């Protein structure tokens, strides 16, 4: 998970957080007061969606669908356990003292990377075809903004972190700026091989999600998705 923090117009703090699906994420509230009883966290998936109050006065709202995956950290941060693509969106941390807004509003935009098969793979073996879809789920058109202004890109790489080529062996197609698919016909040496989808911004890796091939008849399950946290 990587995050970028910068000020907007002198009145807001905006943070971009990149995560892979299944990862635990902490969204920091930089200007929170010490006891967290003044802290409120709001959430909206899209600009047109209803804003939901996740935390009010340091107390979690247990009447929301994903309440069991949310908690308030000791520093008033918002913890999200095992993120899914539905967690993407805008989070706002506010401080209220005596019912009056205090300090600077903090906006956190969470982007979630997810890799999935195009269909259930029940007979994965040499000679069979597999299509993997990698998508970065974002808030509204934030993806377009990051691509144009921050040089955000998605890549498929092999276990040696070398970009997979687009050729007769690998067909790599983009469907929109934040959606990239990999289609290939499996060979004998592909059993237990791992392919990773990377999110890069200005040539810096922000997060990644991986897919490990498991042939039919192995002791493991037919396939599994592994999500790797990148720090630094």
Point out the domain boundary residue: 54, 79, 112.
Answer: 112
Domain check: are 65 and 45 in the same one?
yes
Q: Are residues 7 and 101 in the same domain?
A: yes
Domain final residue pick, 82, 112, 142: 112
Residue 157 has pLDDT above 90, yes or no: yes
pLDDT tens digits for range 188-206 = 888 888 899 999 998 899 9
Provide the pLDDT for residue 39: 92
Of the three residues 57, 82, 112, the one that is the final residue of a domain is 112
Residue 118 pLDDT level (bands cut at 50, 70, 90): low
Q: How confident is the model at residue 214 (pLDDT cuts 50, 70, 90)?
A: confident
Contacts of 216 (CB under 8 A, 6+ apart): 122, 123, 124, 125, 222
185 and 88: one domain? no
- 114: which residues sit within 8 A by CB, 6+ positions away? 20, 21, 84, 85, 134, 135, 137, 209
> At 86, which CATH number?
2.60.40.10
**117 and 220 together in one domain:** yes
The answer on 218 and 120 residing in a single domain is yes
Domain hosting residue 202, numbered range? 113-228
For residues 3 and 47, what is the distance between their CA atoms, to the nearest angstrom? Answer: 21
The pLDDT assigned to 125 comes to: 81
In whole angstroms, how far apart are CA 5 and each of 12, 79, 142?
Answer: 11, 18, 15
User: Domain check: are 133 and 150 in the same one?
Assistant: yes
107 and 6 share a domain?
A: yes
Give the mean model confidence (pLDDT) for residues 29-37: 85
d(CA 135, CA 140): 14
Strand-pairing partners, residue 6, are 14
Indicate if 151 and 208 belong to the same structural domain. Answer: yes
Q: What is the mean pLDDT of the chain?
A: 84
CA atoms within 13 A on the CB side of 49: 15
Same domain, 86 and 153: no
Pick left, alpha or beta for residue 144 (phi over 0 → left; psi -120 to 50 → alpha; otherwise beta): alpha
- Assess whether 96 and 186 both reside in one domain: no
> Count of domains in the chain?
2
What's the average model confidence in pLDDT over 92-115? Answer: 89
- Taking residues 159-167, what's their average pLDDT? 87
Q: Is the pLDDT of residue 178 over 80?
A: yes
Model confidence pTM above 0.95:
no
Lowest mean pLDDT among 49-58, 123-132, 153-162: 123-132
The pLDDT value given to residue 10: 43
Residues 95 and 124 in one domain: no
**Same domain as 122, residue 171:** yes
């Amino acid at each position: 998970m990587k995050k970028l923090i910068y000020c907007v117009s002198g009145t807001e703090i905006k943070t971009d957080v990149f995560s892979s699906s299944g990862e635990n994420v902490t969204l920091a509230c930089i200007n929170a007061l010490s006891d967290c009883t003044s802290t409120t966290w709001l959430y909206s998936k899209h600009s047109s969606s209803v804003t939901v109050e996740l935390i009010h006065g340091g107390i979690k709202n247990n009447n929301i669908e994903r309440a069991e995956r949310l908690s308030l950290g000791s520093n008033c941060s918002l913890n999200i356990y095992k993120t899914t693509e539905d967690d993407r969106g805008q989070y706002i941390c506010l401080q209220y003292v005596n019912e009056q807004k205090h300090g600077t509003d903090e906006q956190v935009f969470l982007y979630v990377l997810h890799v999935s098969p195009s269909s259930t793979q029940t007979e994965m073996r040499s000679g069979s075809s597999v299509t993997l879809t990698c998508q970065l789920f974002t808030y509204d058109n934030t993806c377009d903004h990051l691509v144009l202004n921050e040089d955000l890109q998605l890549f498929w790489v092999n276990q040696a972190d070398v970009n997979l080529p687009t050729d007769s062996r690998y067909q790599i197609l983009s469907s929109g700026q934040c959606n990239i698919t990999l289609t290939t016909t499996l060979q004998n040496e592909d059993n237990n091989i791992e392919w990773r989808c990377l999110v890069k911004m200005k040539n810096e890796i922000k997060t990644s999600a991986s897919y490990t091939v498991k042939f039919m008849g192995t002791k493991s399950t037919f396939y599994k998705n592994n999500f790797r946290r990148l720090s630094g």
